Structure 1
């Protein structure tokens, strides 16, 4: 009798979960509804109502990684007509979306618990269902600084998952936080059945990576959103291993580069073969602008200290999008002149007085 009673109580709890999931779905909390359905199916894999609700959410084109709808406790609140970030899965077809929904796994993290660690291999992306997280970056001093605060409907981890690069930052739960996780293993299985999923995710990753970079870089702030969008289509995302020559002094330069991740050394090569370090380039730094503005070969060598991820814009695209914009051209000229003067000062100081160049 007790077993029957426990089964009855468990069934009642699952019914309550099902009703709550439906309520969340009706009120716009698709991610919460999907997560709760996943919990129900973990407890009872053959639970028909939960499976049907997942299918209905798919039919309604609910995207768990898109912006959240209005909360249940605030039914009159309207969702913004212009979301700051588009939906990660909005470009998928119905079958592809359903495959992704079925692959999502709910996880819960306690306050202060690390979800992903900076520098570690990335094997998952996450969507926040409930709660919030801190995004932390390690400074050169070794201290950590919070660079973002994410909440319900936000997602993270897609850069490492899609680029095979180490985690860009550490993410910790600020409070009790529920997420939906998509692992690389499950994503690979989906891509085997639906190759278009990889194309959609990579297009999204590239678009929003470039959007974030172009909006945050002082050089491109003078461009209108439409101009930045047109420019982003011509940027090429590329990676180079540690030790790779990115520019070589005296050789032709065919593109403008923006360093997204990693560290590079700028070196001056003397006639006797000696190399003098000029500066270290870090994330967000640009190089190649002197050749672009003056039309000369590389004035220094740039070598990757670490594995690097870069944005590359060829000269034709620079001419179309940048050189025709007075504000951008002036900023490029200013940056190039500052670097030339800085380099000249360093070389003068490092030259023995009996061999100092004549002026």
Structure 2
């Protein structure tokens, strides 16, 4: 009996066992997920090879499959209205990302950028405020924390340019930046001002499109940069699900009927979910107003001087007058049963909503 194969097997087994002892539980979980992805990819490649054999033997099947694929492709485009702010063509690198060699993905190894404890604390506080990261599991958040890179931008720095390919998104820790859209005459129009906790540059990664706008720092800003690969593997699916959910809901709110998909996406980024139990006070009469609310689920009742004056159902909103007029709350609002409310703070509210239209609507509703 040849002892060489036995010795080789024993050495490989020992090496694996030694390496396993050095891995933390988090490392093992990451490797387990990567193995599952690779196994799924291998199965997919086998299926593609079998399909290729079938298509070679049956041209009619191939033509039918092409028509079906064309229909499927229609579902991968950005939401309606997104193209209104585009000036360039789709990313030239999309085909490489989507189709590769047999569409085979390399095992994803997230980058780990060294940070001080002070940086880690600042970054975690920052991204937990963000729409994109708020629905992630703790392990995924830790991967993003490790992969993000601190970027300091001085006033007037152009961080991204409209029409460029996008390989990063940015989360703002501090400072303000303007989003600018290029007009046909070559001038630029500001369409949004981003502040602490906001994210920009994500649309190019979500939809594989060129940059939809340029972003320029209004003042000194501290940003955190996340690469495309980490975004695609960790953040993208959760972000798409959450954005789709809110876009569908917001499009049915009468107040927001005039917003296009891009504007609703901006609003979705600013929304925060707040859950109230039966009888819990949402706002109190006479207090200073700092938030605007839209009811996602459940019901609320408005009381003025102890008398019920209005009831609110899903899709209804309240709290706008105190923000528009800088006046105390005119009534108290309490939850009737458990309710899920979407809130927008005062700064985002004034940036995103047409105040004159709101004043007219509110006057008609309350009178």
TM surpasses 0.5: no
Q: Given the two structures, how large is their TM-score scaled by the length of structure 1?
A: 0.41
Q: Given the two structures, how large is their TM-score scaled by the length of structure 2?
A: 0.40
Greater RCO (Cα-Cα under 8 Å, separation 6 or more): 2
